Amino acid sequence: MNSDRQKILTDYISYIYTTGRTYDTIGKYIKHVTDFLEMAKEVNRRGYLNYKRENADVMVRHSLMCSAICDLLSFLNIGYGKREKTVKPLEKLDVISEKNKKLLHDFIIWLTDNNDYSSHTVDIYYTSIKMYFEYANEVNMDNCRRFIKSLEEAKLSPATIRLRITAIEKFSKWMKKPIELKRPKM
């Protein structure tokens, strides 16, 4: 590997430790990127496509290989970047609709009847769903993401946001429209 590629690898390793990935994933990414830098004729899209063709049998067995190399190319600003979707926060509504008040009431009754939760836990679920309905009328993935963005912009702690997410997931499961949301890092 020539000195230019060694510098690319060193810079990439410094970058990848800031991404929040697990050490296991980081190790696999570094291995695949090192192999790519050692074997590819050029470090660009064409080089990647040729490398992919030559190593198709290896890529089938190592699912992270494509992701790792595309992440390297993205880091080098050579395309293959994942577009970051901007999530707009929700605006606070004037009032909670009667339909949603009834849903909230029925949910709390279901929680107390079917689960052995403490009054504190039930109160957290109630507060969380009530707060959600202050921002949105409908439970769907887009509204949930936007609600979480609103909470982040209100500077709530990650632990509090996680509680709100747990309540929303439980509520959506109760509605038979299960939603899974990404939790913020602690």
pLDDT in tens, 129-177: 999 999 999 888 889 989 998 998 889 999 999 999 999 999 999 999 8
Return the CA Rg of the chain.
23
pLDDT of residue 84: 56
pLDDT of residue 82: 56
pLDDT of residue 80: 63
Token readout for 159 is 């632990």
pLDDT of residue 102: 95
pLDDT beyond 80 at 91: yes
Distance CA 108, CA 69 (A): 48
| Closest among 171, 102, 124, 121 to 143, alpha carbons compared | 171
DSSP 178: -
Token readout for 89 is 């926060």
Which amino acid belongs to residue 156?
Answer: L
Token readout for 127 is 């507060």
pLDDT of residue 181: 83
Token readout for 76 is 């080098």
Q: What percent of the chain has pLDDT over 90?
A: 47
DSSP 184: P
Tens digit of pLDDT for each residue in 107-116? Answer: 999 999 988 8
Residue 106 pLDDT class (50, 70, 90 cuts):
very high
Distance CA 174, CA 111 (A): 9
Rounded to an integer, the average pLDDT of 34-39 is 92
**How many angstroms from the chain centroid is the CA of residue 22?**
14
Rounded to an integer, the average pLDDT of 30-44 is 91
Tens digit of pLDDT for each residue in 38-58? Answer: 998 988 888 888 998 998 888
| Closest among 58, 11, 61 to 36, alpha carbons compared | 58
pLDDT of residue 66: 87
pLDDT beyond 70 at 83: no
pLDDT beyond 70 at 184: yes
